[in-house]
Amino acid sequence: MRKLFPLSPHANTFQHWQAITVYVGTVVYVLYRLVFLFPAALDHLATTIDGDQTALALAYGVCLGVAGLAYLLVRRYLLDTATTLLTGLLVTEGAVLVLAGPWDHVQGWLVIGMGIMLANLITTRWIGILAAAGASAIIAISTLNGFDSLSTSAQTERTLLAFALALWTLLLSIGPALVVRGGQLTVQANLLRDDTRNLIGISAEVNQAILARTELETFLAEVINTIQQRFASIYHAQVFLVEEGSQSATLQASTSPVGEKLLAQEHELDIGGLSVIGRATLNKKLVLVPDVTQDTIHRPPLLLPATRTELGLPLVANDVVIGALDLHSTQINAFDDADVAVFEAIANQIAVAIDGLQLYEASQRTIRENQALYRQTQTSLREIERLNYQLTGRAWTEYLRLQADSTAMTLDLESGQTVPDTSWTTTLEHAADQHRVITQTVEGQRVVALPIVVRNEVIGAMEFELEAEGDLPDGALELITAVSQRLGLALENRRLFDETQRVAQREALINDIGTELQSAIGVDAIIQRAAHNLQEALEAQQVTIRLGFQADDKGQDGNRGTGRSAQEKAPA
Average pLDDT for runs of 10 along the chain of length 572: 52 60 67 59 54 56 69 66 70 68 65 69 60 65 64 69 66 64 65 67 67 77 85 88 91 89 90 90 92 80 85 92 92 83 87 86 89 89 74 71 62 62 80 85 81 83 77 77 86 84 85 84 84 81 80 50 58 56
Report pLDDT for 328. 93
Report pLDDT for 233. 81
User: Whole-prediction pTM value?
Assistant: 0.47
| Cα four-point dihedral sign 155, 159, 160, 161 | positive
How big is the chain by its Cα radius of gyration, in Å?
54
Q: Which amino acid is at 520?
A: A
Report pLDDT for 269. 92
Alpha-carbon distance of 66 to 85, in angstroms, equals 7
Beta carbons of 302 and 278 less than 8 angstroms apart: no
Alpha-carbon distance of 43 to 304, in angstroms, equals 54
Torsions phi, psi for 181 (to 5 deg): -65, -40
Report pLDDT for 156. 73
Domains recognised in the chain with CATH numbers: 13-189 (no CATH), 213-365 (3.30.450.40), 405-501 (3.30.450.40), 520-569 (no CATH)
The set of long-range contacts for 116-120, using a CB threshold of 8 Å and a minimum separation of 24, is: 116/87, 116/91, 116/169, 116/172, 116/173, 117/172, 117/175, 117/176, 118/21, 118/22, 118/25, 118/83, 118/86, 118/87, 118/90, 119/83, 119/84, 119/87, 120/172, 120/173, 120/175, 120/176, 120/177, 120/180
Alpha-carbon distance of 317 to 354, in angstroms, equals 9
DSSP annotation string for 226-260: HHHHH-TT-SEEEEEE--TT-SEEEEEEE-HHHHH
Report pLDDT for 556. 47
Question: Which of 280, 361, 284 shows the shortest CA–CA distance to 320?
Answer: 284
Q: Give the DSSP H or E segment for 303.
A: none
Alpha-carbon distance of 83 to 223, in angstroms, equals 40
Report pLDDT for 285. 93
Report pLDDT for 487. 86
